[in-house]
């Protein structure tokens, strides 16, 4: 946002603050202006730094512009260095620009509270471009700090400075997204005393937005109740008009017939039953008058080809399943030109499916790639990893290593471990190059300096089960590696606060079903657990998988599968890629005091 304003200010007389009267040579200043307009932010940042060095009287102004361009380029360390080069006098001489750039940097670094402190240093601007930016930053910062009421007030105030209807609509859509995220994270949505009706209406819309996103089949009554209470609210005609379209698109139709193909006997019975029960839970969430016919076929009692052909002969207009990779490979050749199929696993990368075969899976390889992307995003480009022996560990290791390398990172070393072992000291010492401490000269008690580990590793990736992870992390700390951030996939986590105290600090991605704090996800989760209390403890993710499989049916029938569309499912944010595969984006959490805390 600031970068856009800078680009505009370089072309017009309007700016965050009037440019210095002393002009630079046209070639130097003009070159930087073109870089800003062309979106070459890193080059523009360097250009502004050169202008700052060559113009002592205007040094602070150009350093602030340099910091702003580094933020736009995503290089926060350089932005911080540029901001540190600004003199203390800038708070008095360039108060607005200094506060806005500092707040934007704090936002980019995820510190909303610090951003608000920076904005509190100045009065709300009265010049239009500055005011738009100020209230936008204030709104973002408040949401980031977990203060949604303050964030709503800022976005509402910002609208007073927006004249273009498209800009107003975009601002409302951004506010709606912020409210949804805040409600998903369990932030308080209670309006302050004597709150403006517009502010109160936005806050009341937060939980409704989560219901629409996570469980639209159950949201109609909540949407209607909100509209009756706030009939003149600005969100009514625009955002909720779209919501009603989403409600229509999220529902199957009663004339449809869905076939569910799962192993409900034999060795995979428990897994198939968990997916089935989650699927039925979503089915029952839908209005009974709109539910399609549902027929379930046990593919363990007959061949999967026979089950599929029978389902189509019985009138299925959509087939969900089968579940195992072998069964998906067997049914794939049968699907061309027939009822669409949502397979609950992926075909091999070299196997092509028909146009009406869709694939949805909970793959550890996908999560390993997410972890690789996260460590790079966190600025940790080099690290080490521990993988379990066996085929699962091979898959996770290959996916993580390939993605990390593709993004410019480097896996310095990795070790394999036997999950059943309790002592992992040897492999930890090897992968981290643990060196025993040297004896302290002159110490009569024989004391030694603390042991040290390799200094080039900025992360440790531990792949494995909850039990293995609970043993490995304390041993990492025992070997003086507690200062290195530890990442894992969701396989390392299961809810157990007393046992999870041993893995405090662990960073991992997981589905909302497991770590979501919003009341909608909690309601769905509790309903399934209450319906099947003896089955849910160890198979929660499979219930969520079944729940989202049902939600994907209308999406894949074409009503909601337009470009860029996604579903806020209980297994993650879901979208369809170019290869007919459903891709998931998970939420990130860190264990604190034995419990997951959303990041």
Which among 26-35, 236-245, 285-294 has the top mean pLDDT? Answer: 285-294
Over 50: is that where the pLDDT of 13 sits? no
**How many folded domains does the chain comprise?**
4
* DSSP state, residue 556: I
**The pLDDT value given to residue 27:** 73
Q: Are residues 162 and 177 in the same domain?
A: yes
Judged by average pLDDT, the poorest of 189-193, 421-425, 515-519 is 515-519
Q: Are residues 377 and 462 in the same domain?
A: yes
**The pLDDT value given to residue 291:** 87
Structure tokens at 270: 């428990």
**The pLDDT value given to residue 337:** 84
Q: Are residues 347 and 425 in the same domain?
A: no
**The pLDDT value given to residue 361:** 96
Q: Are residues 109 and 37 in the same domain?
A: yes
pLDDT per residue over 47-61, tens digit each? 999 999 998 999 999
587-592/507-510 β-pairing: antiparallel
CATH number at residue 314: 3.40.50.2300
pLDDT per residue over 80-98, tens digit each? 999 999 999 999 999 999 9
Q: Pick the last residue of a domain from 359, 392, 421.
A: 359
pLDDT per residue over 308-347, tens digit each? 999 999 999 999 999 999 999 999 999 988 889 999 999 9
Over 60: is that where the pLDDT of 518 sits? yes
**The pLDDT value given to residue 253:** 61
pTM passes above 0.85: no
CATH number at residue 214: 1.25.40.650
Q: Are residues 75 and 117 in the same domain?
A: yes
Is pLDDT larger for residue 192 or for residue 528?
Answer: 192
Domain annotation covers residue 225: yes
Domain annotation covers residue 592: no
**The pLDDT value given to residue 6:** 46
**The pLDDT value given to residue 21:** 46
Handedness of CA 222, 224, 225, 230 (dihedral sign): positive
**The pLDDT value given to residue 296:** 97
- Count of beta carbons in the 10 Å neighbourhood of residue 124: 12
**The pLDDT value given to residue 3:** 52
Q: What percent of the chain has pLDDT over 70?
A: 88
Domain annotation covers residue 554: no
With vertex at residue 85, the alpha carbon angle to CA 80 and CA 89, rounded to the nearest 5 degrees, is 120
- What is the pLDDT averaged over residues 389-396? 96
pLDDT band at 354 (very low <50, low <70, confident <90, very high): confident
**The pLDDT value given to residue 238:** 66
Domain annotation covers residue 79: yes
Over 50: is that where the pLDDT of 120 sits? yes
Domain annotation covers residue 222: yes
pLDDT per residue over 557-572, tens digit each? 874 445 557 888 999 9
Q: Are residues 405 and 342 in the same domain?
A: no
Q: List the end-to-end C-alpha distance of the chain, in Å, as a whole number.
A: 23
Domain annotation covers residue 429: yes
Q: Pick the last residue of a domain from 513, 529, 560.
A: 513
- Tell me the H-state helices in 74-160: 76-84, 90-93, 95-108, 112-119, 128-144, 148-159
For tokens 């993710």, name the residue. Answer: 541
> In Å, how far from its chain's centre is CA 307?
38
Q: Are residues 236 and 307 in the same domain?
A: no
293-298/257-262 β-pairing: parallel
Over 60: is that where the pLDDT of 173 sits? yes
What is the overall mean pLDDT for the chain?
87
Q: Are residues 280 and 224 in the same domain?
A: no
**The pLDDT value given to residue 174:** 93
Is pLDDT larger for residue 298 or for residue 517?
Answer: 298
CA distance 199 to 152: 6
Range of the domain at 50: 1-128
**The pLDDT value given to residue 426:** 92
Q: Are residues 33 and 106 in the same domain?
A: yes
Is pLDDT larger for residue 521 or for residue 107?
Answer: 107
Q: Pick the last residue of a domain from 312, 334, 359.
A: 359
pLDDT per residue over 227-250, tens digit each? 899 988 988 876 666 666 566 555
Q: Are residues 217 and 327 in the same domain?
A: no
The 3-state DSSP class for residue 358 equals strand
Domain annotation covers residue 118: yes
Give 359's strand partners: 343, 581
Domain annotation covers residue 533: no
Q: Are residues 330 and 448 in the same domain?
A: no
Q: Are residues 243 and 296 in the same domain?
A: no
Is pLDDT larger for residue 114 or for residue 250?
Answer: 114
Over 70: is that where the pLDDT of 402 sits? yes
């Amino acid at each position: 946002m600031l970068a856009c304003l800078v680009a505009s200010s370089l072309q017009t007389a309007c700016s965050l603050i009037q440019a210095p009267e002393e002009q630079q040579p046209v070639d130097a200043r003009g070159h930087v202006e073109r870089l800003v307009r062309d979106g070459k932010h890193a080059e523009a940042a360097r250009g502004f730094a050169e202008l700052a060095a060559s113009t002592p009287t205007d040094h602070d102004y150009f350093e602030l512009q340099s910091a702003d361009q580094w933020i736009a380029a995503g290089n926060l360390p350089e932005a911080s260095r540029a901001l540190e080069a600004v003199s203390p006098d800038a708070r008095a001489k360039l108060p607005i620009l200094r506060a806005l750039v500092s707040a934007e940097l704090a936002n980019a670094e995820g510190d909303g509270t610090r951003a608000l402190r920076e904005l509190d240093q100045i009065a709300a601007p009265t010049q239009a471009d500055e005011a738009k930016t100020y209230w936008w930053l204030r709104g973002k910062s408040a949401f980031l700090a977990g203060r949604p009421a303050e964030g709503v007030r800022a976005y509402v105030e910002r609208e007073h400075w927006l004249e273009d209807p498209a800009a107003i609509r975009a601002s409302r859509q951004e506010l709606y997204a912020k409210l949804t995220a805040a409600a998903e994270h369990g932030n308080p949505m209670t309006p302050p005393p004597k709150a403006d009706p517009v502010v109160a209406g936005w806050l009341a819309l937060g939980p409704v937005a989560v219901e629409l996103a996570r469980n639209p089949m159950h949201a109609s009554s909540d949407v209607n109740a909100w509209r009756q209470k706030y009939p003149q609210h600005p969100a009514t005609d625009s955002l909720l008009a779209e919501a009603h379209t989403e409600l229509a698109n999220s529902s199957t139709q009663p004339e449809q017939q869905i076939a569910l193909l799962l192993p409900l006997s034999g060795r995979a019975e428990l897994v198939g039953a968990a997916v089935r029960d989650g699927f039925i839970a979503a089915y029952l969430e839908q209005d009974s008058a709109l539910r399609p016919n549902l027929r379930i076929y046990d593919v363990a009692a007959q061949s999967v080809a026979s089950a599929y052909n029978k389902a189509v002969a019985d009138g299925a207009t959509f087939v969900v399943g089968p579940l195992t990779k072998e069964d998906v490979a067997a049914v794939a050749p049968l699907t061309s030109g027939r009822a669409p199929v949502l397979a609950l696993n992926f075909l091999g990368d070299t196997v092509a499916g028909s146009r009406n075969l869709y694939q949805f899976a909970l793959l550890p390889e996908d999560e390993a790639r997410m972890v690789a992307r996260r460590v790079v995003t966190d600025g940790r480009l080099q690290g080490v990893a521990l993988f379990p022996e066996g085929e699962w560990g091979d898959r996770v290791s290959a996916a993580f290593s390939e993605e990390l390398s593709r993004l410019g990172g480097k896996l310095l070393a990795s070790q394999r471990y036997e999950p059943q072992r309790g002592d992992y000291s040897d492999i930890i010492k090897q992968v981290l190059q643990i060196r025993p401490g040297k004896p302290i000269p002159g110490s009569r008690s024989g004391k030694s300096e603390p042991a040290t580990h390799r200094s080039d590793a900025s992360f440790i990736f531990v792949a494995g089960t909850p039990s293995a992870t609970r043993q490995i992390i304390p041993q990492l700390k025992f070997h003086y590696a507690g200062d290195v951030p530890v990442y894992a996939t969701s396989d390392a986590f299961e809810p157990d606060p007393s046992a999870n105290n041993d893995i405090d600090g662990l960073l991992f991605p997981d589905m909302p079903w497991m770590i979501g704090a919003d009341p909608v996800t909690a309601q769905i989760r509790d309903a399934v657990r209450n319906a099947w209390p003896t089955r849910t403890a160890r198979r929660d993710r499979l219930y969520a998988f079944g729940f989202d499989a049902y939600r994907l049916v209308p999406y894949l029938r074409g009503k909601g599968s337009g470009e860029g569309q996604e579903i806020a499912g209980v297994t993650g944010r879901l979208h369809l890629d170019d290869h007919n595969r459903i891709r998931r984006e998970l939420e990130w959490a860190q264990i604190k005091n034995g419990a997951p805390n959303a990041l």
